[in-house]
Amino acid sequence: MALSKVWFVTGASRGFGRVWTEAALKRGDQVAAAVRNPASLDELVEAYGDSLLVLPLDVTDRDAVFDAVGRAHAHFRHLDVIVCNAGYGYMGAIEELEHEQVKANFDTNVFGTLSVVQAALPILRAQGSGHVLTVSSIGGVIGFPTGGSYTASKFVIEAMSEALAGEVAGFGIKVTIVEPGQFATGFNASVRSPLAMPAYDPIRQAIRASFKPEDVGDPKATAAAILEAVDADQPPLRLALGSATLAKIRATYAARLGNWDTWEAVSNAAQGGRQSS
């Protein structure tokens, strides 16, 4: 049986963050839950008491992030699992996107994650252990039309997390990039969009039509996968969630490889000849 763990979870009030927080508490772990609205977790506080520390937090406030992580560590004296889940979608065709809204989206999705990771790393290095979970998306692997700023931010999470994994492995710290497909998390309620340009309506409608209701998963079913990953001696660098997710990722990578193969001769010629010194 796995030893009890201490979690720090951002965006813990709803969606995946809420599901994974409840799953951790239910099995006897302790959780520092960082949320914008602490009252949203009153029910869990009543049910789990001292096992749950609720911290008000907007991850775009870097100083507040460092304070919250420090408070969590001071309270529980240890941190095992850091879940960077806070984020939202800003969707639209690239031409439609508003510059300030893209910056705001990256402030939450990318720089919020960066702040949490940087706040936690000194603690995890001192412990010589820990597991960082960054929440990406299938949209962090497949950049779909009208995915706009959201998919761009998730591609950044993928690259940043992959670099992080190589940097901290020697300190006993593990990293897992969580890549959910479509789930009924209520995510659409947090999606923001710019003013739509009619020129992009056909591609927007085609993208919406491509989403299949049968591909939408139950968020509660992801809890077992997350718990298995955090309990693993050798957790995955990437963990795709959802039965349709891997098939879409495989098809995307096959197309990429095909593209590179087709242009291989041109790529090789771009190397040039060795220049004599």
Task: Tell me whether residue 177 is in a domain.
Answer: yes
Domain that holds residue 86: 6-243
Residue-wise pLDDT tens digits, 137-188:
999 999 999 998 999 999 999 999 999 999 999 999 999 999 999 999 988 8
Per-residue pLDDT at 277 exceeds 80: no
Look up the pTM and report it: 0.94
Residue 147 is assigned to a structural domain of this protein: yes
Burial tier of 77 (Cβ tally within 10 Å: 0-12, 13-18, 19+): exposed
* 265 in any annotated domain: no
* CATH number of the domain residue 34 falls in: 3.40.50.720
Q: Looking at the domain assignment, is residue 275 inside a domain?
A: no
Residue 238 counted as domain residue: yes
Q: What is the CA angle 139-57-50, rounded to 5?
A: 110
Catalytic residue annotation: 136, 150, 154
* Domains held by the chain: number: 1
Q: Is residue 257 part of a domain?
A: no
> Amino acid identity, residue 187?
F
Q: Considering the domain boundaries, does residue 167 fall inside one?
A: yes
262 domain-assigned = no
